[in-house]
Amino acid sequence: MISFEEADTEETITCLHMTFYHPCQNDQMFSCLNFCRREQVRADEVAKFGRDSNVCHYNLMDTRVSRIQFSLQFYRKLNSSECCFEIKNMSKKTKLMVDQTELGYLNKIDLPWKCIILFGDYQILAETQEGVSMDYFETYFHLSEVPILQERCLPSRQPVPETGISSPSFPSQGKNPTEIDENEPWYTGEGGWSGF
């Protein structure tokens, strides 16, 4: 029998939490994703998301989604023990937004530790929980009933009168210029960020 002191240390596994939202989500659209259950993936596998079940490990049952929409590659940074993910847009017809970065076909970037991924009407909140294992990583999917962008409480760009009380219908809106900090990025609400 191995004593407590001699037992192997259990390695923690990096886990990628992904919360999905689509305004027309139904039972079919996400039927191939296993929600609220950790799924282990080998570190040398590329996790592909799309509608082609022969190629993609994670299927989105929607004809508006590309055969392969995007991929995630787990890797270890050079001269470091830190493990990360890289995201690559695999769609020729749809741009992929990762926070404020737009990715065209075959463009890739490091996935930030916490970010929002957008394509079409899909919104995905991705959060990486750090681990030390280099053999596997885990995915853990969640489904959101409300839009991720709404849930993140992005700042409203409605003017606030000098009284400090914001009104949903500000009578002078559209007649006078609205004062906005030009150095602060803001979301236009039409699928893009402005102010950069």
Domains and CATH numbers, the chain: 15-144 (2.60.200.20)
Q: What would the mean pLDDT of 42-65 be, rounded to a whole number?
A: 95
Which residue type, as a one-letter code, is found at position 37?
R
pLDDT at 170 (0 to 100): 39
21 token code pair = 């939202």
150 confidence band (pLDDT: 50, 70, 90)? confident
**pLDDT reading at 136 higher than 50:** yes
pLDDT score of 130: 92
Work out the percent of the chain whose per-residue pLDDT is above 90: 59
Contacting residues for 36 by C-beta, under 8 A, at least 6 apart: 140, 141, 142
- Could you tell me which residues are beta bridge partners of residue 71? 48, 88
Average pLDDT score, the chain: 81
**Distance between CA atoms of 179 and 196, rounded to whole angstroms?**
17
Side chain identity at 30, as an amino acid letter?
A: F
Q: Are 35 and 54 in contact (CB under 8 A)?
A: no
Q: How far apart are CA 104 and CA 99, in angstroms?
A: 14
Q: How high is the pLDDT of residue 101?
A: 97
User: Does residue 129 carry a pLDDT above 80?
Assistant: yes
